[in-house]
Amino acid sequence: MIDNIHQITKGKKEREFNKLTGKAMRIGSKLKERFAGLNREEIAARLIEECLQKHGGNAAEGEGPQFVLHSLVLRPGRTAHLELPFDLTPQEAIKLQKFIEILVTNPK
């Protein structure tokens, strides 16, 4: 319930950033300094544009994200980052699952 309240209070661009990256937008001192004078929505729009330019897609042409970034903390100090297709199919998910199982059963 609380998550829904937080989601409602976020602007459209901030929600889009959250969906694109899989993370909540946290504005620390570095971002405040980098984007001085901009509000949260303007910062989110700039970050989305940077992310799309870096990883494909072009928001200026109306082309939506082709991927979603996910991060998972495996253990303290170790985070796995996955860039997955926005329209991941069940077959692709199974393929990814099998790949991870291979990593676990055949460690180096």
pLDDT tens sequence for the chain (108 residues): 444 444 457 788 888 877 777 677 788 888 888 888 888 888 888 888 887 777 655 544 555 557 777 888 888 888 888 888 878 889 999 999 999 899 888 766
Tell me how far apart the alpha carbons of residues 1 and 7 are, in angstroms, rounded to a whole number: 10
Specify the amino acid at residue 77: G
> Are 26 and 40 contained in the same domain?
yes
pLDDT of residue 90: 92
In this structure, the answer to whether residues 56 and 71 fall within a common structural domain is no
φ, ψ of residue 7 in degrees (nearest 5): -65, -35
58 shares a domain with 25: yes
Q: How far apart are CA 90 and CA 81, in angstroms?
A: 20
Say if residue 60 is in the same domain as residue 85. Answer: no
Same domain, 60 and 75: no
Please give the tally of structural domains in the chain: 2
Does residue 43 sit in the same domain as residue 6? yes
- Residue-wise over 69-103: b if at least 16 C-beta within 10 A, else e? eeeeeeeeeeeeeeeeeeeeeeeeeeeeeeeeeee
CB-CB contact of 96 with 89 (8 Å): no
Look at the pTM and tell me if it is higher than 0.75: no
Residue 55: predicted pLDDT: 64
Residue 70, token pair as written in the block: 């996910």
The reply to whether 108 and 88 lie within a common domain is yes
Host domain of residue 107? 67-108
